[in-house]
Amino acid sequence: MTEAYIVDAVRTPIGKKNGGLSGVHPADLGAHVIKAVVERTGIDPADVDDVVFGCVDAIGGQAGNIARTSWLAAGYPQHVPGVTVDRQCGSSQQALHFGAQAILSDTADLIIAGGVQNMSQIPISAAMIVGQQYGFDTPFGGSKGWTERYGDDEVSQFKGAEMIAEKWDLSREELEKWALQSHERAKAAIAEGRFDNEIVPLGDSTVDEGPRETSLEKMASLQSLVEGGRLTAAVASQISDGASAVLLASDEAVKKYGLKPRARIHHLSARGDDPIYMLTAPIPATQYALEKAGLTIDDIDLIEINEAFAPVVLAWIKEIGADPSKVNVNGGAIALGHPLGATGTKLMATLLNELERTGGRYGLLTICEGGGTANVTIIERV
């Protein structure tokens, strides 16, 4: 049976809004990580079968198939194609899935998968804002089928996160404690150099810019997003800029090009849930993935679940029964940021390096996504 291996995984430092990466064209962000993974692995770029990248709000500098543009901006051969994926916040994780599936199906041997997002240049939901000039106020309004099924309910990640906090009875204090821990873990990871092997500096940007000095007292002083609500900006992911990439290879490519795999793709899948709650899909997706993989959550050594909002992670921990000490051990998006299209393979780079540092065997990655879907990837360190 053909295997799909991760040979290497890299990322830029994550820039905060209007920070060190804000002026970099998205294609150049993407080209930077593509060149890094090519140079670090020593592959001939002419041997790459495809480039699969994630990106959300693909307008302006992110339009025109950013995977292909990034590859060409890197100066690499024109015969290598590229394709851009939008599965919202899980876009580059899905890019990894598509790349791995191509290898597992024996239709490709060498794939670069990743993602890019410059949220300073192209704000979140920019594509919808542009759509207003064409008469669309939301992606759903005006759809007879959608309205018949879901009514006129607000479809919003903020509403979904608030609903999750209420349904799972997560207090504001619990959410803020998790957020504080995210910052503390991230700052410790940076100080200890845990990200050094995955980060490829870009210009003067050498370190993640998101972690900040905060406290429970500071968080408690913030106004909630809705009156009487439990969510504040302190328990939400940060607007960020960045790019990430992984090199995927088949058994044949590993032997042919003398590559040294770092992990094997053990399982990949995706599942959906209520699109109004929007952010709960990691729960059924993880349950499904573990069953298909023949594993329990106790078999998993390390977990990365995207911290879109603190209640997403805490509700998932409650339902799955995961050990919190295994979850986002180096901090999450609350502290480190969430460059939408790049986050999936960014988190994979972190998961891979931490598995190696700690000697763990299995790592699990899951991300909640707009539309109420979630991807799950389980890797095995080799």
List of E strands, the chain? 4-11, 15-16, 50-54, 82-85, 110-118, 240-250, 263-272, 302-305, 362-369, 373-381
Among 89, 97, 183, 267, which one carries the catalytic annotation? 89
- Contact status, residue 52 vs residue 341, Cβ threshold 8 Å: no
d(CA 324, CA 71) in angstroms, rounded, equals: 39
Q: Would you call 247 helix, strand, or coil by DSSP?
A: strand
Q: Which residue is it, tokens 């209007």?
A: 18
- Does 89 qualify as catalytic in the annotation? yes
Sign of CA dihedral 314, 320, 321, 327: negative
Torsion-angle region of residue 153: left (phi > 0), alpha (psi -120 to 50) or beta?
A: beta
d(CA 354, CA 364) in angstroms, rounded, equals: 12
- Does 55 qualify as catalytic in the annotation? no
Q: Which two tokens stand for residue 278?
A: 């929007």
- Does 338 qualify as catalytic in the annotation? yes
Fill in the amino acid letter for 310.
A
- The set of catalytic residues is 89, 338, 368
